[in-house]
Amino acid sequence: MRLLLPAFLLFILLTGCDQEKIKPEVNTNLKPIDLPDQESWDSEVLLIDSSGLRAVITSGHIRVFYKNKETFFEKSLKVDFYNEQSIKTTTLTADRGRIDDETKDLYAYGNVVAVNDSGVVLKSDELIWRNGEQKIRTDKFVTITTRYESIQGYGFESDQYLRNYVIYKINYITTF
């Protein structure tokens, strides 16, 4: 019995090692150019210049492509903008976004909402924040709501604090 048990265990170990190795599936359609250079999940990015903190970007998934000079924000996007005194002035949220890493322009897409510290709310499907001008723009449909009125139309431009804005083709205005 004592000799039988070790022989049985040795038999099980040797027969278990004879099986063919399993090879992982390889996706041959994936090209290296399609892969990001950096990738992160549930991350926060600080944008700082010589005057201090300018913005904090939070996203569920970030992909950075050095060759194309683009950074993509997927699975939610939140941007908190700060003034020269590093006080938060505006918060922008969207489904996803993109930064042109050369110009530092921010593109926000899908259920875009921007709210400033005075309670002005901007809603659109797409917004562009132009870094060089420090302005928010879109040619899409927008709704601006303040304590006193709601304005809807196409085409929009504003400073990044949503204080001085223009809607180019107004369709609807109501006052409260």
Q: How many other CB atoms are found less than 10 A from the CB of residue 134? A: 12
pLDDT value, residue 94: 98
Report domain extents, the chain. 40-175
What average pLDDT score do residues 95-104 get? 95
What average pLDDT score do residues 104-127 get? 96
Q: How many other CB atoms are found less than 10 A from the CB of residue 173? A: 12
Residue 27, by phi and psi: left (phi above 0), alpha (psi -120 to 50) or beta?
A: beta
Exposed/middle/buried for residue 122 (C-beta within 10 Å: 0-12, 13-18, 19+): buried
Give 40-175's CATH code, choosing from 2.60.450.10, 3.30.60.50, 1.20.1250.20, 3.40.50.720.
2.60.450.10
d(CA 85, CA 44): 21
d(CA 123, CA 147): 15
Q: Is the pLDDT of residue 87 over 70?
A: yes
pLDDT value, residue 147: 92
pLDDT value, residue 17: 54
The pTM (predicted TM-score) of the whole model is 0.79
